């Protein structure tokens, strides 16, 4: 259970924001990034500010800091810190508040530290500045702070430079820096979005503990309902620049009143999502804030919208004590699962079919420079000895943290990269043996969906040309036939035919991913490899694309290999799940095997780290988790590569590399000391 | 990459999925053109270039002067009357001379830029596509040539050729392709790693197709920007050659030679030999730099909008 | 780091070898037979051939190249038949004055360009920035000699406060002994360089200003001035170091023009005079020295950058 915050009744709010409006002047238009936001924060309290990208949540945080980007400015409202008005405060006075009374942590720890100054200098800077500390005192304080944020061997870290630290450590340094003057208010803007899920849990727990210990108030800005549910005392939901609903966390999750809050929660992926149902999705996308619509800004996407919603903006009013709302037609509580339409799940074939794709002992090493003196070649072992196969019409899901080699694996499967050893057999053809024309012909069967929808479409081509390109490349059909096929493809992915003449830059991320999917479908492939197909998309758009992928799979009998760092995505799509760690497949099995009966400690830790969008669930990080981060793939640990982070590791793990052992039919894991007993019969090499 | 949640501008570019109320379509090139036209400096620059092209090439037809016969009687006349910009020591009308000199300077600048960009583009593309040892060797060659001061080698070579528009263009072009070669190679390398190139490979496109349909159209922007800067540099270079005495021979002239002649008379107070032609030179070079800067920015604009 | 320096040193040697090959080929292609050059146009073909045979100029190009290279390795840059002096002596005689002029101009340019560029980046699109941008644009678009002429016109002719010619003393330190006479050449040379450096510095500073760590530094409570001096300056100067290394050829070119315009007895003027004499051994000797300087400049810049940037220091 989440430790209690201690807001005492007589404490006034530390931070009060009233009617805050922030505009940004761009060359073409003025964007109303924030309009009329009311927030208040008490000592010891965490307020979650949740919304999708572009909703103005970061701008709210930056407005409080007085650090709006060029062209940005507060147009109305007030921000009071312990009764003191901050709006209009001269920079000279503001400087004494920033980093001293209010501190902020930003999203990307990789770019947030000055690359040419030591950690010690950077952490000590605020103390020197605000407390007038001597270099020695500041250094001592920096040392204390690094220890406080749980950095091992802090004295050693003081002299290091940011590039020598991993992402998780850098975010800890950022926290140490922000808290070094014990601010009253901490603004954490997506503090864990750039981090892996196992690290995310550690950092959020740390923030929570420090907030309690130092008696701060924390504004936690995030897009993730799971993070909110686990760590916020109260929540404000933001949409298109305005607050639509605010309430205590428990109340909001069980009794939300705004249709957007309801929809946002409904499309948040859960591990418990039933695979035979369509994911809930919000139609359309948010409005353009340079030209905001009249009336309620959510009206265009709202299932409950009336004419009044479209013409008259609802004010933010107190619906019941401590629960404010801006809606004309409130709903009552979360959507039940029944609201989503049932979808026919792909039937499990009665007899096991011949696999359409077989990966056999695949490995990839990259040489990285040669040492002049020693002559020894260093190499990164991106993928080592991965084997699995996929039956037709099924989905193989591959999960792992960034840098585990999953994208390299994907590129090898579609023959974008040559394996160092091992092979890929698709539809009976060994890709490594195919050359030139034969390989190009064979590629028809094997298509790919890329992660970044902005990068995957040639900006100089019209959509029509992009979608015709597969046919042209393969020399299929006449121009008229190609065009007809392209029109069919657009129908399949739910885009109007008018898009043919348009260019990629005119589309949103979700639309582009649909176009990319249409292109992948063009050649009627048997297998589609999807590398992080939805990770660049907002949650409400994400489920639109996932639903589409499922529908098309059922219709065309497609085989998918879905690669993702997001366990909920894989859980929803996959029939078989593989877990990768540092280039190795450590566990493989059915979704239930993996999510309910994990045998490998890494798998278990990964699952435990996911924040459930349910305030009653146990927050991650209490269980025996992984306190460290993935080591460099340059010199992977000997024996079991996970042993350096494993709570169960023993001497044997360093000496002997574990092989895959069977635990259930079709479920195997590579661990010397698994969480469950393996089947006694088989101790096979996978 | 994890979900991108920065709301830097707060302006979602997204539009409604279901409704087809998209604005008028615009190609990347038209977007570039629009951003370019919105840049006042760029339009000014373009205007200056158009003006000078007309001035130098159409001007002599409207304002005819004798630029062949030396006329010692009317030598070094101050501006006024029949000679709005005076005359030079040989008695040539300075305004007419600027037109004539401008023709040569503009021609050489453009030819040299085209030659340099042509060679550079080809070289850079081959190196970028070949990669490995070939690329390494080709780039070492570029490093080597780049370490020799450009003007030194051009001057040394120029001592051996009689200077004509063609020979100067060839010499300048032959030694200034290094920068575009590096630029194009870098562009090709970065394009090769882009998702849409991988997508084309996966759909079975041949190398030739990828080069023709993806690499060339996308690298074109960089090449075009380079041409404008290259013209500016070449005009300056040819002026330097002319100034140091390796310009066109009588009766031909370009701005650099004109200026070097003027220097000798500067102490005598014949300012009209220097300022008008010097002003023209700076204006034209500046105009090309403006246009190049604006083009680069407007191509960036298109990319930023993604 | 040591490895990096060694590797960089290796490529530098390769590049210098390449340059020597080019100068050798040019020497041959341009000047033709040394016999003809020494004996003059009146000499009979037989006499020329006999001279060339006697001095080994009839051997294959490859052998002659190795001869040339051997000479270079012993520091022998060749012989000027026109002036009947060794190229080494000619260059050595003039190098000091040129080095002084270039160094002073370069230092002046850096000292002006760095604050200018940073100021412009911080005050982006302000009137000050626009005026400076316009000025740098004009300077950047101006051939060196034109700037020199303008300065002469204004300060020497118009105001009459400075001489139009550079000091003619043969001392290497004339720049300090007769500063008034050297002001215009130095200003011309650094003016052109300032334009280039400050434009570059402005964009480098803009790049750094857009980085997250600047916002973080502001969020710590640092004033803009402190952010600039403590965080931005160093990072924004790293790319400039590379640029300075690469701009040595431009500096030497500018030096050539300035010395010719102001009649300052240095390497540039020597080069200019040799051009008119078609004295190829001197021309190519200086070219080789200039290229070597450039390569060394790049090497030093790269090593400096690698040494100041902690990201590469250990690699």
pLDDT in tens, C135-168: 888 888 888 888 888 888 888 877 877 787 777 7
Q: CB-based contact (8 Å) between B137 and chain C?
A: no
Q: Please write the tens of the pLDDT for every residue from C268-282.
A: 889 998 888 888 888
The count of C-alpha atoms lying within 13 angstroms of the C-alpha of C12, restricted to the half-sphere facing its C-beta, is: 19
* Mean pLDDT on C192-203: 89
How does residue B110 score in pLDDT terms, banded at 50, 70 and 90? very high
Contact partners for chain C, using 3 or more CB pairs closer than 8 A, are: A, B
Taking Cα atoms as reference points, which of C277, C254, C278 lies closest to residue C267?
C254
**Is residue C34 located within the same domain as residue C135?**
no
Q: Would you state the pLDDT for residue C315?
A: 46
Q: How far is CA A366 from the centre of its chain?
A: 27
Same domain, C209 and C105: yes
Q: Do C280 and B243 touch (CB under 8 A)?
A: no
User: In C, which residues are within 8 Å of B148 by CB distance?
Assistant: 19, 22, 249, 287, 290-291, 294
> Which chains lie within 8 Å of chain B at 3 or more CB pairs, if any?
A, C
Chain B, residues 32-91, CB within 8 A of chain C, namely: none
Query: Does C311 or A242 have the greater pLDDT score?
Result: A242
Instruction: Average the pLDDT over C290-305 and give the result.
Output: 90
pLDDT bucket at A378, cuts 50 / 70 / 90: low
Mean of per-residue pLDDT scores for chain A: 84
CA distance B68 to chain A (A): 51
User: What integer pLDDT is reported at residue B43 of this predicted model?
Assistant: 86
Q: What is the pLDDT of residue B20?
A: 35
**Distance to chain C for B213, nearest Cα, Å:** 32
Beta-carbon contacts below 8 Å between A and B: 198
Residue C37 has pLDDT above 70, yes or no: no
Whether the pLDDT of residue A216 is over 80: the answer is yes
Q: What is the pLDDT of residue A491?
A: 87
Chain A residues with CB inside 8 Å of C308's CB?
116
Average pLDDT over residues A420-443: 84
What's the CA gap between A561 and A530, in Å, rounded?
A: 6
Distance from CA of B201 to the nearest CA of A (A): 7
Decide if A99 touches C, using CB distance below 8 A: yes
Contact C231 A129 (CB under 8 A): no
Q: What is the mean pLDDT of residues A505-534?
A: 88
- Chain A residues with CB under 8 Å of B28 CB are 459-460, 503, 505
Cβ(A17)–Cβ(A64) under 8 Å?
yes
Nearest CA to CA, how far is C172 from chain B (Å)?
Answer: 24
Nearest to A177 among C3, C215, C220 (CB): C220
The answer to whether position C182 is within a domain reads yes
pLDDT of A635 reads: 76
Residue C142 forms contact with B (CB below 8 Å): yes
CB–CB of C153 and B289 under 8 A?
no
Q: Cβ C253–B149 below 8 Å, yes or no?
A: yes
Nearest-CB residue to B144 (from C19, C152, C290): C19
Let me know if residue C84 belongs to a domain: no
| Mean pLDDT, residues A257-283 | 83
Q: What is the pLDDT of residue A625?
A: 52
Fold (CATH) for B30-299: MetI-like fold (1.10.3720)
| B contact test, residue of C145, C153, C281 with most B CBs within 10 A | C145
Mean per-residue pLDDT for A169-183? Answer: 89
Nearest-by-Cβ selection for B4 from A53, A415, A505: A53
Q: Say if residue A326 is exposed, middle or buried (CB neighbours under 10 Å; 0-12, 13-18, 19+).
A: buried
Taking alpha carbons only, the member of A96, A120, A117, A257 closest to residue A177 is: A120
Residues making up chain A, counted from first to last: 686
Flag whether residue A207 sits within 8 Å of chain C, measured between CB atoms: no
Q: Which residues pair with A585 in a beta bridge?
A: A580
Query: Is B17's CB within 8 Å of A26's CB?
Result: no
Residue C131 structural domain: 96-276
The token pair at C3 is: 């490895």
Q: Closest-CA residue in chain A for B203?
A: A470
C114 contacts: CB under 8 Å, gap ≥ 6:
C197, C198, C201, C233, C237, C240
Rounded to two decimals, the pTM is 0.83
C137/B289 CB distance under 8 A: yes
Residue C85 domain flag:
no
Average pLDDT over residues A459-482: 89
Q: C141, B236: Cβ pair inside 8 Å?
A: yes
User: For position B244, what pLDDT does the model report?
Assistant: 87
Segment C39-67, tens digit of pLDDT = 766 777 788 788 777 777 777 788 888 88
B170 touches chain C (CB under 8 A): no
- Residue C160 φ then ψ, to 5°: 65, 25
Window 129-148 of A: residues touching C by CB (8 A cutoff) are 129-130
CB contact under 8 A, B155 and C275: yes
Residue B7 predicted with pLDDT over 60: no
Coil, strand or helix at B164: coil
DSSP E strand stretches across A190-305: 217-222, 234-239, 242-248
The CATH code belonging to domain A13-101+183-325 is 3.40.50.300
- Given strand A15-25, what is the order of strands in its sheet? A30-41, A15-25, A72-81, A84-85
Per-window interface: C 264-293 vs B, CB < 8 A:
271-272, 275-276, 278, 280, 283-284, 286-287, 290-292
Confidence (pLDDT) at A70: 81
**In chain B, domain spans:** 30-299
Which residues of A are less than 8 Å from C223 in CB distance? 91-92, 95
Can you tell me the distance from the alpha carbon of B157 to that of C51, in angstroms, rounded to the nearest whole number? Answer: 26
Residues comprising chain B, all counted:
306
Query: Stretch A505-531: mean pLDDT, rounded?
Result: 88
> Among C215, C222, C235, whose Cβ lies nearest the Cβ of A129?
C222
Q: Indicate whether A276 pLDDT > 80.
A: no
Q: Give the integer Cα–Cα distance in Å for A406 and A364.
A: 11
Domain range annotation of chain A: 13-101+183-325, 112-182, 357-366+378-669
For A63, the closest chain C residue by CA position comes to: C219
A282 → chain B, closest CA residue: B17
Q: What is the pLDDT of residue A5?
A: 45
User: How far, in Å, are A10, A12, A56, A101 from residue A186 at the CA level?
Assistant: 21, 17, 18, 8
- Which among A92, A99, A111 has the least Cβ separation from residue C220? A99
Interval B247-278: pLDDT, tens: 888 778 888 888 888 877 777 777 788 888 88
- Token digits for C262? 């102001």
* C-beta separation of A223 from A192 below 8 A: no
SS3 content of chain B, % helix, strand, coil (to 5): 70, 0, 30
| Inter-chain touch C219–A65, beta carbons under 8 Å | yes
Task: Count how many domains chain C has.
Answer: 2
Q: What is the pLDDT of residue B306?
A: 33
d(CA B268, CA A500): 70
Q: What is the mean pLDDT of chain C?
A: 85
pLDDT at A77 over 60: yes
- Specify the pLDDT at position A369: 56
Q: What is the pLDDT of residue C183?
A: 86
Is C221 within 8 Å of A373 when comparing Cβ atoms? no
C90 within a domain of the structure (yes/no) = no
Report CA-CA distances (Å) from A347 to A344, A457, A568: 8, 34, 21
DSSP assignment string, A472-500 = HHHT-S-HHHHHHHHHHHHHHHT--GGGG
Searching chain B, which residue's CA lies closest to the CA of residue A449?
B199
Whether residue A102 is predicted with pLDDT greater than 90 in this model: the reply is yes
Question: Which pLDDT value is given to residue B8?
Answer: 34
Percent of chain B topping pLDDT 70: 87
pLDDT score recorded for residue B25 = 52
Average pLDDT over residues A334-351: 55
Decide if B160 touches C, using CB distance below 8 A: yes
Check pLDDT > 60 for residue A50: yes
Interchain pair B202, A496: CB under 8 A: no
Question: Are C143 and B266 within 8 A, CB to CB?
Answer: no
Distance (Å) from the C-alpha of residue A179 to the closest C-alpha of chain C?
10
What digits encode the pLDDT tens for the residues C100-143? Answer: 889 999 999 999 999 999 999 888 888 888 889 888 888 888 88
Residue A208 in this model has a pLDDT that exceeds 80: yes
Say yes or no: C54 and C130 in one domain. no
Q: Which of C216, C224, C309 sits opposite A116 (nearest CB)?
A: C309
What homologous superfamily does CATH list for A357-366+378-669?
A: P-loop containing nucleotide triphosphate hydrolases (3.40.50.300)
In a domain, C19, yes or no: yes
Of B143, B236, B263, the CB nearest to C143: B236
Q: Are residues C156 and C217 in the same domain?
A: yes
Answer whether A514 touches C (CB < 8 Å): no
Residues of C in contact with B141 (CB under 8 A): 18
Which of B303 and C74 is assigned the larger pLDDT?
C74
pLDDT in tens, A586-637: 999 998 888 888 899 999 888 888 888 888 777 665 444 566 777 777 778 8
Whether B203 sits inside 8 A of A498 (CB atoms) is no
């Amino acid at each position: 259970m989440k430790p209690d915050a201690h807001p005492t009744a007589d404490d006034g709010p530390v931070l009060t924001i009233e009617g805050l409006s922030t505009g940004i002047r761009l060359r073409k238009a003025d964007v109303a990034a924030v309009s009329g936001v009311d927030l208040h924060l008490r000592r010891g309290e965490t307020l979650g500010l949740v919304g999708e990208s572009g909703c103005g949540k970061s701008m709210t945080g930056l407005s409080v800091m007085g650090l709006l980007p060029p062209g940005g400015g507060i147009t109305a409202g007030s921000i009071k810190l312990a009764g003191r008005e901050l709006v209009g405060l001269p920079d000279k006075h503001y400087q004494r508040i920033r980093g001293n009374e209010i501190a902020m942590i930003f999203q990307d720890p990789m770019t947030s530290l000055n690359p040419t100054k030591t950690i010690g200098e950077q952490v000590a800077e605020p103390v020197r500045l605000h407390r007038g500390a001597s270099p020695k005192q500041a250094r001592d304080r920096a040392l204390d702070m690094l220890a406080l944020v749980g950095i091992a061997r802090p004295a050693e870290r003081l002299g290091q430079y940011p590039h020598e630290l991993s992402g998780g450590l850098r975010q800890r340094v950022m926290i140490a820096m922000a808290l070094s003057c014990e601010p009253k208010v901490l603004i954490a803007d997506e503090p864990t979005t750039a981090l892996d899920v196992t690290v995310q849990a550690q950092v959020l727990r740390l923030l929570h503990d420090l907030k309690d210990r130092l008696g701060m108030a924390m504004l936690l800005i995030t897009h993730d309902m799971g993070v909110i549910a686990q760590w916020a005392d109260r929540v404000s939901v933001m949409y298109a620049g305005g607050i639509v609903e605010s309430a205590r966390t428990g109340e909001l999750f069980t009794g939300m009143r705004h249709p957007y809050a309801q929809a946002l929660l409904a499309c948040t992926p859960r591990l418990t999502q039933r695979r035979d149902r369509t994911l809930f999705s919000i139609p359309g996308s948010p409005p353009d804030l340079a030209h905001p619509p009249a009336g309620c800004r959510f009206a265009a996407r709202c299932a409950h919208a009336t004419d009044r919603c479209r013409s008259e903006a609802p004010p933010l009013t107190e619906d019941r004590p401590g629960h404010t709302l801006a809606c004309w037609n409130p709903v009552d509580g979360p959507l039940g699962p029944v609201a989503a339409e049932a979808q026919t799940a792909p039937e499990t074939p009665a007899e096991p079919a011949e696999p359409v794709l077989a990966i056999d002992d695949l490995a990839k090493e990259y040489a990285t420079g040669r040492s002049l003196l020693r002559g020894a070649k260093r190499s990164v072992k991106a993928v080592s000895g991965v084997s699995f196969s996929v039956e037709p019409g099924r989905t193989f899901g591959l999960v792992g943290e960034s840098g585990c080699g999953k994208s390299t694996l994907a590129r090898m499967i579609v023959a974008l990269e040559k394996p160092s050893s091992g092979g890929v057999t698709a539809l009976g053809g060994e890709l490594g043996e195919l050359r030139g024309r034969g390989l190009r012909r064979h590629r028809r069967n094997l298509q790919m969906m890329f992660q970044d929808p902005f990068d995957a479409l040639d900006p100089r081509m019209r959509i029509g040309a992009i979608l015709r390109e597969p046919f042209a490349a393969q020399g299929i059909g006449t121009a008229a036939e190609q065009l007809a096929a392209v029109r069919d493809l657009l129908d399949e992915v739910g885009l109007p035919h008018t898009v043919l003449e348009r260019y990629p830059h005119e589309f949103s991320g979700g639309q582009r991913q649909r176009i990319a999917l249409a292109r992948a479908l063009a050649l009627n492939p048997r297998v589609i490899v999807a590398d992080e197909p939805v990770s660049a998309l907002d949650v409400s758009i994400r489920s639109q694309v996932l639903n589409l992928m499922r529908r098309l799979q059922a219709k065309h009998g497609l085989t998918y290999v879905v690669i993702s760092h997001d366990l909920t995505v894989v859980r929803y799509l996959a029939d078989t799940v593989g877990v990768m760690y540092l280039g190795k497949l450590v566990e493989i099995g059915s979704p239930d095997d993996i999510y309910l009966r994990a045998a490998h400690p890494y798998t278990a830790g990964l699952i435990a780290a996911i924040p459930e969008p349910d305030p009653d669930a146990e927050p991650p990080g209490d269980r025996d988790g992984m306190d460290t981060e993935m080591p460099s793939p340059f010199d992977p640990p000997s024996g079991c590569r996970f042993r350096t982070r494993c709570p169960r590791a023993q001497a044997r793990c360093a000496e002997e590399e574990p092989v895959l052992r069977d635990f259930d039919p079709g479920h195997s894991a590579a661990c010397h000391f698994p969480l469950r007993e393996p089947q006694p019969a088989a101790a096979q090499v996978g | 990459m994890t979900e991108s949640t920065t709301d830097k501008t707060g302006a979602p570019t997204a539009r409604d999925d279901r409704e087809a109320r998209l604005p008028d379509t615009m190609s990347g090139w038209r977007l570039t053109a629009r951003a370019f036209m919105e840049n006042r400096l760029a339009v000014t620059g373009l205007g200056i270039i158009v003006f000078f092209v007309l001035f130098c090439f159409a001007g002599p037809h409207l304002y005819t002067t004798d630029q062949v016969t030396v006329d010692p009687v009317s030598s070094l006349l101050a501006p006024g009357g029949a000679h709005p910009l005076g005359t030079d020591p040989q008695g040539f009308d300075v305004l007419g001379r600027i037109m004539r000199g401008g023709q040569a300077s503009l021609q050489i600048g453009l030819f040299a830029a085209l030659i340099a960009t042509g060679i550079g583009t080809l070289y850079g593309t081959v190196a970028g596509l070949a990669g490995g040892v070939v690329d390494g060797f080709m780039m070492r060659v570029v490093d080597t040539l780049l370490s020799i001061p450009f003007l030194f080698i051009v001057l040394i070579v120029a001592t051996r050729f009689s200077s004509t528009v063609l020979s100067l263009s060839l010499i300048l072009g032959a030694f200034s392709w290094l920068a575009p070669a590096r630029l194009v190679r870098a562009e090709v390398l970065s394009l090769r790693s882009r998702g849409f190139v991988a997508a084309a490979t996966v759909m079975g496109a041949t190398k030739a197709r990828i080069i023709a349909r993806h690499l060339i159209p996308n690298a074109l922007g960089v090449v075009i920007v380079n041409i404008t800067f290259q013209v500016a540099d070449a005009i300056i270079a040819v002026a330097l050659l002319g100034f140091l005495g390796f310009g066109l021979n009588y009766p031909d002239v370009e701005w650099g030679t004109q200026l070097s002649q003027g220097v000798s008379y500067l102490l005598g107070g014949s300012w009209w030999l220097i300022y008008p032609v010097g002003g023209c030179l700076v204006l034209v070079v500046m105009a090309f730099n403006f246009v190049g800067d604006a083009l680069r920015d407007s191509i960036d604009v298109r990319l930023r909008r993604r | 780091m040591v490895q990096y320096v060694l590797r960089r040193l290796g490529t530098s040697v390769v590049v210098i070898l390449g340059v020597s090959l080019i100068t050798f080929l040019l020497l041959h292609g341009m000047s033709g037979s040394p016999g003809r050059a020494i004996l003059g146009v009146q000499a009979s073909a037989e006499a020329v051939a006999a001279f060339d045979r006697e001095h080994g100029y009839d051997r294959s190009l490859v052998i002659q190249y190795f001869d040339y290279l051997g000479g270079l390795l012993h520091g022998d840059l060749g012989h000027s038949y026109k002036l009947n002096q060794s190229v080494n002596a000619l260059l050595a005689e003039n190098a000091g004055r040129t080095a002084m002029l270039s160094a002073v101009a370069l230092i002046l340019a850096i000292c002006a360009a760095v604050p200018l560029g940073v100021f412009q980046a911080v005050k982006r699109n302000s009137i000050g920035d626009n005026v400076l941008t316009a000025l740098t644009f004009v300077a950047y678009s101006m051939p060196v000699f034109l700037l020199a002429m303008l300065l002469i016109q204004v300060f020497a002719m118009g105001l009459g406060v400075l001489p139009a010619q550079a000091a003619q003393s043969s001392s290497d330190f004339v720049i300090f002994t007769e500063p008034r006479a050297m002001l215009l050449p130095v200003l011309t040379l650094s003016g052109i360089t300032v334009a280039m450096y400050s434009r570059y510095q402005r964009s480098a500073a803009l790049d750094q200003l857009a980085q997250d760590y600047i916002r973080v530094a502001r969020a710590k409570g640092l004033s803009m001035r402190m952010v600039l001096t403590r965080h931005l300056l160093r990072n924004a100067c790293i790319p400039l170091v590379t640029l300075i290394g690469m701009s040595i050829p431009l500096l030497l070119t500018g030096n050539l023009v300035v010395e010719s315009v102001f009649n300052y007895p240095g390497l540039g003027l020597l080069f200019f005079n040799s051009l008119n004499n078609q004295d190829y051994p001197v021309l190519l000797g200086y070219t080789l020295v200039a290229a070597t300087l450039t390569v060394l400049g790049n090497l030093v810049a790269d090593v400096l950058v690698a040494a100041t940037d902690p990201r590469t220091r250990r690699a």
